[in-house]
Chains A and B, each alone.
Chain A
Amino acid sequence: MSEIKETFSLKGMHCASCVRVNERALKNVQGVKDAVVNLAAETAMVTYDANTASLDSMKNAVKKFGYSLFRQDLEDGSEGAKEIYQLRRKVAVGAFAGVLILWGSFPFIMDYSPLFLRNFYIQFILASIVQFWVGLDFYKTTYNSLRNRLANMDVLVALGTSAAYIFSTAVTFFPHLFTRLSISPEPYFDVAAIVITLILLGRLLEARAKAGTSTAIKKLLGLQAKTARIVKDGKERDIPIEEVQVGDILRVRPGEKIPVDGIITEGQSAIDEAMVTGESIPVEKGIQDSVIGATMNKSGTFLYKATKIGKETMLGQIIKLVQEAQGSRAPIQKLADTVSSYFVPIVMMIAVLTFVIWYLFGPEPSFSYALITAITVLIIACPCAMGLATPTAVMVGVGKAASFGILIRDAESLQKAQGITTVVFDKTGTLTRGKPEVTDIIVARGPVASFPPTSARSSLASSNELRASRNPSTSTTPRVENAILQVAASLERGSEHPLAEAIVQKAESENLTFVQVLKFQAIAGHGIEGLIKEKKAVLGNRRLMEREKIVIDEMLPAVEKLENEGKTVMLLGFDGRLSGLVAVADILKDSSRAGVDALHRIGIETVMITGDNERTARAIGEKAGITRILANVLPEDKEREIRTIQHEKKAVAMVGDGVNDAPALAASDVGIAMGSGTDVAIEAADITLINKEITSVAKAVLLSKKTMRIIKQNLFWAFGYNVILIPVAAGVLYPFFGLLLSPILASAAMALSSVSVITNSLRLKNVNV
């Protein structure tokens, strides 16, 4: 038996009796042990045996009564509006009472106050409201913490304000006792009340600012469509997105959001994917193309089959990845973590020591000085700023990156990315589009009579590119070019080489039929061979021609010229003679040059790694603006090359496709993968670029640099604040300058310190990279 406790969303309730109805309905389902329904949260927490009870049986049970139950989907990371409202009310009451006390007790302004406000008993009543209602939460937490022999900031606030409040109460009711001890019977109700109010005000501002750190998740959640138009049994109707199942056929009309991920089955359209992938230009899609949920259908109407729903969709995965990254811990945080775990007890010790020193050595009234300075030490200490310094910046930074289509795996990856000195690019599919195309077919000057007659349905090469690239030195007809393409494609049909697909596709687009190839064989590092019409046909590089003793001298200038243009040349030999060549090129992505230039501008060296020969690789590298080329590198050797660069004391980021390059990505300091399809979680990658833009590499590095700068500023501020202001609060400046910090000012500083750290982190939202 496998018992599961799961919280479901339950919609349609409006009163307490709905709760009972749903609980009873769920408990009646076989296999359900317990069900607790929450009206406010619209949830049902069900304990059930997964082998007996199913989601459908529970759905049906509540559906009978008009309610709908479904799995909680993508979660929102921000709740707590209720707590903010409560906090606001307390701050308002505290501020009102505090100002009245201050008016009746503060030198100079008290002269203008009504007489009753100067009455210590009235001040006592007002201060008691603040102390025990407004500040109640400080006491609750202090009690809970001390029971566990732990302490946090609330303990400091409770101790500090209680000291002021208790002393003031004692002075109010038993002034003569203090007079007898030569202690001035002046109450500090204003200190207790204002400190509590200011700290709560700080907390209110902090809560608001903190809500801003998770807006990235909220924005992503907001992208979801609310409904989907399902086509079933010839009818169409709108259903809530939660009810869409894998396999459902959905219709999307112009201007509508695509509800979930799927594959188009009918129709075509231009789709704006910018909101999810950051891809700026709408993409044309037709039958068999995949569509991404939450993207916008621009022009056409189409039907598509849902393939991924809920958390499995690309948007769901992005949200999960961003949430996970926001939950991770950056190595830079370690010191702050260590300090904050000892911080509060040490501050308490400093406060006691301050009291003793002032009492022993302070001027008269030494008790008052000792009390006020000890309270100030307790109030000014701010461990929160240290705790918030790193995570708030990480949350904003990771969220900002996601808005550019850059998914950062965790805070550690973010930290590592800022120190990158060298970026190594894989060529195929990273710098280039990864879809090689046939660019040139050149026929050898010699006789081609030995060729098998072409059985092409179309005898003319239609491509302009082909005509344009025809070698003027070779006089031949398009029919012969097609014959070369036909033989080459027939041979390549059996090959798994990435370039083979380009040649086969070209032959198909020219409507050529394939001829039978016998005894096909791939020769590693050389090319392929086979028998066509009982004659040997070979297709491959110069090494293959040498092996086959085929003379290629007449075509050498053309070969070199094509290689210098960054094209891969395959020579075709037939029956022991050179027949021609086919050149294939993978076109550079539009963003490659700009992306490489952007890296150079921020002082990062770039390297290209490829299996291509040196000449072709150099030509592509030159176009991309990369000068350091690692050519002729077999896929399994890429990892070793990365380690070699690392030995030069360089921090290396490897940019690859995440599948073939997984070992190299894992070996690098920061693995950057280009997103593939709708799977965004690439295991070996620290950073995934879902928009597949090379310019995003520099953006990711810049954003990590800016995030780390903000973290360092935050930590410097948080540590500096405590290191400087705690001694000042203890009165170290008094012997030299006669300066003492008021506890009210201390509480204002303390309230603002956390807020300033969060506000600094929020600056990342507006950075331009």
Chain B
Amino acid sequence: MELDKIIVSLLGFGGIGFIGWFFFGKKASSNAVEVGDAITIQVSGGYAPATIQLQKDKKTTITFHRTDPSSCLEEVVLSDFKIRKFLPLNKDISIEITPQKAGEFPFVCGMNMFHGKIIVK
């Protein structure tokens, strides 16, 4: 095999391995942020913080602030709380939830590409 083909093959398979590691590999653990009465989640290429911890039976205000223009992120869905909200760019959108049971509840973008998590204790 010619040298260029060997290089392309090595780079190609290396690239595939890298993509797998980059997206599916173990990511630096994102610690859950404990929330008191309210929290603001930045929506930009995902959610920051992506994992928040709430207290059971306590009303909490979650404010989403989207700065990312992607239409993927223009909606946030908390299906366990039956909430689907449009997030206008650069605006605060607040929702109030009072979790009735403990557990982990995901929140996702309208197309389910970006994920966050609410841990209720």
Interaction A to B: yes
Given contacts A4-B37, A137-B70, A141-B68, contact A327 B113 (CB under 8 A): no
CB-contact partner of B72 in A140, A149, A153, A207, under 8 A: A153
- Shortest Cβ distance from residue B56 to the other chain A in the assembled complex, whole angstroms: 18
Interface centre among A38, A80, A82, A386 (most CB of B within 10 A): A80
Complex CA gap A207/B81 in Å reads: 25
Contact A154 B9 (CB under 8 A): no
Name the interface residues of B73-121: CB closer than 8 Å to any CB of A.
Answer: 73-74, 77-79, 81-86, 88-89, 91-92, 94, 108-115
CB-contact partner of A324 in B45, B74, B82, B109, under 8 A: B82
| The 9 residue pairs across chains A and B that have the minimum distance between CB atoms | A144-B45, A387-B111, A327-B84, A356-B12, A329-B79, A324-B82, A141-B70, A345-B23, A137-B69
The answer to whether B53 has its CB under 8 Å from any CB of chain A is no
Complex CA gap A83/B88 in Å reads: 8
Contact A355 B77 (CB under 8 A): no
The answer to whether A7 has its CB under 8 Å from any CB of chain B is yes
Q: Enumerate 18 A-B pairs (CB-CB under 8 Å) in ascending A order.
A: A77-B86, A79-B86, A80-B74, A83-B69, A140-B68, A140-B69, A147-B45, A150-B45, A154-B72, A323-B82, A324-B83, A327-B84, A341-B115, A345-B22, A345-B23, A352-B16, A391-B77, A391-B84
Residue of A nearest to B7 (CB): A359
CB-contact partner of B82 in A45, A150, A327, under 8 A: A327
Name the interface residues of A295-325: CB closer than 8 Å to any CB of B.
Answer: 323-325
CB-contact partner of B83 in A150, A327, A383, under 8 A: A327
Given contacts A154-B72, A324-B83, contact A148 B45 (CB under 8 A): yes
Complex CA gap A142/B88 in Å reads: 19
The answer to whether A396 has its CB under 8 Å from any CB of chain B is no
Residue of A nearest to B76 (CB): A327
Name the interface residues of B43-61: CB closer than 8 Å to any CB of A.
Answer: 44-46, 48, 50, 61
Given contacts A149-B22, A355-B12, A387-B110, contact A154 B70 (CB under 8 A): yes
The answer to whether A27 has its CB under 8 Å from any CB of chain B is no
Which A residues lie within 8 Å of B110 (CB)? 387-388, 391
Using CB atoms and an 8 Å cutoff, list the residues of chain A in contact with chain B. 2-7, 38, 41, 45, 77-80, 82-83, 137, 140-154, 203, 206-207, 323-329, 336-337, 340-342, 344-345, 348-349, 352-353, 355-356, 359-360, 383-384, 386-388, 391, 410
Interface centre among B71, B77, B78 (most CB of A within 10 A): B71
Tell me the dominant secondary structure on chain B's binding face: mixed
Complex CA gap A2/B70 in Å reads: 36
- Shortest Cβ distance from residue B55 to the other chain A in the assembled complex, whole angstroms: 14
Contact B45 A383 (CB under 8 A): no
Which B residues lie within 8 Å of A151 (CB)? 23, 113
Which B residues lie within 8 Å of A391 (CB)? 77, 84, 110
Other 20 A-B pairs with CB < 8 A, given A328-B79, A360-B5: A4-B37, A41-B91, A79-B86, A83-B69, A83-B74, A83-B88, A143-B45, A144-B45, A144-B70, A150-B23, A150-B114, A154-B70, A323-B84, A340-B113, A341-B112, A342-B24, A345-B23, A359-B8, A383-B113, A410-B82
Contact A348 B114 (CB under 8 A): no
The answer to whether B35 has its CB under 8 Å from any CB of chain A is no
Which A residues lie within 8 Å of B115 (CB)? 341
Given contacts A150-B114, A154-B70, contact A325 B22 (CB under 8 A): no
Name the interface residues of B2-34: CB closer than 8 Å to any CB of A.
Answer: 5, 8-9, 12-13, 15-16, 19-20, 22-24, 27
Complex CA gap A78/B79 in Å reads: 19
Residue of A nearest to B23 (CB): A345
Complex CA gap A38/B65 in Å reads: 15
Complex CA gap A396/B48 in Å reads: 31
Which B residues lie within 8 Å of A359 (CB)? 5, 8, 12
CB-contact partner of A352 in B12, B71, B92, under 8 A: B12
Contact B92 A7 (CB under 8 A): yes
Interface centre among A82, A150, A206, A325 (most CB of B within 10 A): A150
